[in-house]
Every structure is written in structure tokens, then in C-alpha cells.
Structure 1
Amino acid sequence: MTNTQNAVAVMALLLLSSCQSAAPPPAPVAELQEQAEVVETPVETIDYLTQGKQQGYEAAVAAQTAVDDHWKDVSAHWDLAIASLGQVPTDSPDYATAQAKIVEYTANRDVAAERYRAYQVKAAAPVPAPQAPRDTGKSSDQSLEEKMALIDGLPGRESTYARLLDQVDAKCTQNRAEIGDIAARSVEVAAQYGHRTNILDMLEGGHIATRNTDFQFDCVEIFSLIVTTMDAQ
């Protein structure tokens, strides 16, 4: 081998050696896989204003049909909405709106809570004992008519009937809002049938368009009291 050939061979060896030392070692396969799997996960944010409004809407819908103990659930719905709105950060552009909604929802919650408390008081109240049936006076109608027949022969009976009609008219006026224009009807019957017939018609309800049975019973009591008083005289 000539000197020139030797020199070329040495230079080739040097170049090959330098290239091999400069190349980085290959990365392990596991490390490459980890780098490929690392993905930046975005931070999920909750829109507390929208969430609170939705819960408030659900509370308002529930309140439309709430009765008795349902108001407890309505109050709880408002509490959920208020809690969500309270999560809106102070530096959020929705903060002022959330605070205004909190005031509104708190008032609604208080109303629901008050209605639930009223239901609790009502439910805890003792059940009143059933009242005895009211005496209708029907059993004494016949004896009353007989007594009035006896009055026909007494002196001053017209003034007696006048006093009866005055008391009936006063009773009608007192109950006018409940039974309608009964006072006017009693005057019409009196003009058509006379005092005695008017009183008996009032007792039987035959010519008086009354819608209140208790009123008819009250009239019977008035007549019975006056007739009994006259019998005692």
C-alpha cells in the first residue's frame, strides 16, 4: 500500500469515528410512548349563574301546584338555587346578577317556608269534636200553628203580628248578604196573604225563596219565643 493510500484510509477512519460519537443514543420505546400520551386536559368551569337560574325555575314551577307539606320541597329547591348562585366568584361579570337573584330567591324561599310552617301548625291542631245536630224546630211546627190559631182570638193580635214581622225583617236584614232579598219577599207575602199566612209561610218556607236553612230555623225560634211568651201572659 502506498503512502497516499494509507493517508486516505486513515482519514476515512477518522471521519467514521467522529460521526459515530456525535449521534445521540436512541430513546427507549417506553419513554416515547409516555411522551405521546401526555395531553394537557382543559380545566372544566361550572356556570353557577345558569345552574342557579335553572334551579330557581324548577322551584317556581313546583310552587305553582304546592299544597300542605309540598312547601317543604319548594323551600329546599330555592335553597339549592341560592347555594349555586353563591358560588359565582366575586371577580366574575355575573356576580352582580347572581347577588340580585339571591335576594329574589331568598324572598321566595321565605314565603314557601312560612306556608310550610302554617301547614305544620294546622296539622298539629286538635280536630274539633263533632257538634250535635241543630234543633230545626220541625217537631214543634204543629203546636206552634195551634198556638197561633189561639192568638187569632186574642185582643191586639194585629200588633202582635206586627212585632213578629219587625223581628223577622230585622233578622232578614242581618242575614241579607247570605240569603238575598228575603225581607222584601216577606213584605210581598204579607200583602198578598195577610200577616198570619205570612208567618206560617215563613215557617214552612213555601213562599220565601230562602237559600239558607239556618235562617228558617232562626225564624222558627223567634216565633216560638214570642208565642210562648204570649201564652204565659
Structure 2
Amino acid sequence: MMANLFSSFDPSTSFHSSLNWTSSTMSIILSPILYWMIPSRWIMTWLKLTMTIHKEFKILIPKTSYSGSTLIFSSLLMFIMMNNFMGLFPYVFTCTSHLNFNLYLSIPLWTSFMIFGWMKNTKHMLAHLVPQGAPNVLLPFLVIIETISNMIRPGTLAIRLTANMIAGHLLITLLSNSGNSLNLMTLNFLILAQIILLVLESAVTIIQSYVFSILVTLYSSEVT
């Protein structure tokens, strides 16, 4: 039984816990970070980059089927690019250098495009299997070729990204392993070559993430 009417508001008696005051911090935790701080240059740069990518993808998608779908492809580009960049740091696992990880990215997207295309635009998907102006004699072979090329798209996306990520990292690793047996003069050239390869690999991380996202965007535009 309560000693008085206001004892339920006493933190020392309510549930006999010293953590009752933590409820006052929930408003701080649940509030967005932009509520407490002015957008920094890093946030503004990130938003500017996102808008630039959005405008780039918007050109490739028809206006009738746009509906903000570029946000998916922009997020995909940023996700792949960040994973590629993380692999440039020493002792950091490169997720995008493994085929199974890249297949987990490409197969669900390609499958969803195919299901949407065949359910909503069946005639368009059938017409896409036959190139315009092709001879009637070659039509059966062209349908088979187009079907096979369409089915291997997720595999080519994953293999392209995997091969490009492995090639640069493997070359840097092979060159670094030979440094112990070199003299001082040759070692300086090796360090210079490593720096050049690291710069090129940084460019590859951006290019490959861009290529992956652009191809996925083009595949989505074909089914609409």
C-alpha cells in the first residue's frame, strides 16, 4: 500500500530500480541527429553526391515508370562503392571480391525485374526476344540466344565485379610479397608502383560500382 498519493512518482520507490531516470534520455535517443546539429559539410557533400547519382539514373529510366526507383539504384551504388573502398585498407575483408556476395546482390534484383516484366508487360518481354528487322529464318536461333543472354545477366554482373576486385588486390599482394628480397633501389620503385596501383584501384572501386548500378538500371528499364 502506498504511503501517500505522490509516492508513485518517486524514482526510489517505483519498481525499486535506479534506472528509472533513463526514460528521460529516450527522447534524445529517438530524435534524429539532424534535430540536434546543423548539417555539416560531410552531410551536405553526401546529399550532393546522392542527388548527382539520382539525376544520372533518372535519365535511363522512362518517366512513366520512374516512381522514385532511382533511390534503390543510388543506394546500391553507394553500398558497393563503400564496400570496395573498405577493401583498400590493410587487414579489411573485401566483401565484393567474393562471388557469392555479388550474386546475392544481382540475383534478387534480376529476378524481381523478370517477375514484374512477365506479369505486367508480357507482350513487351516477348517482343524483346526478337530483334527488329531480323530474318524469319534466324528467329528461332535469335530467341534462344536472347533467352540465354538474359538468363546469364546476374552471373555476368557478379563475375565482372568479382574479377575486377580480385585482380587489383591480387596484383598488389603479389608485389608486396616480393619486397623482402629486393635491394633499396628496387624497393623504392616497388613502393612507387604500389602507390600507383592503389590509386588505380581506388578508381576501379568507383567505376565498378557505377557500372554495376548502371547495368541494373538498364535491365530495369527494359522490362517497363
TM-score range, shorter chain: under 0.3
Normalising by structure 1, what TM-score? 0.23
Q: Normalising by the residue count of structure 2, what TM-score does the alignment of the two structures yield?
A: 0.24
Please say which structure displays the higher CA radius of gyration.
1
